[in-house]
Structure 1
């Protein structure tokens, strides 16, 4: 679908490209940047998406930051150099 290519897939590719550069600089250990991008997105946004029923129920900015920060910490724990 063209909306997938213009939106989610394009964003995932951009994230994967950034993660690949960060790994090439020695800051992360990533064998598959595309998979790592999926992991990062799911860890950062997955819980918020579930808790809000895909945006139907808002979260406070503080809770959104807390969930996103926890996702980033989990990602870094799994992919740290």
Structure 2
């Protein structure tokens, strides 16, 4: 089953912190929005709502992981 990769599901221990940082920290908000945008694009491709090459899909997945790693590091530092 194809699903979206929500940060609060992947990082349940940071659920409250994610919400607080989205509201109070512009840098985190931008990271979160970038991750959400990438995740949405990937979801659309995986569900055949939007055509794309395998290379495009793989590049988007790599970028999503990069942003997710940055978010995780930010959550641990703040």
TM-score of the pair, normalised by structure 1: 0.39
Larger-gyration structure (1/2):
1
Identify, as 1 or 2, the structure richer in helix. Answer: 2
TM-score of the pair, normalised by structure 2: 0.40
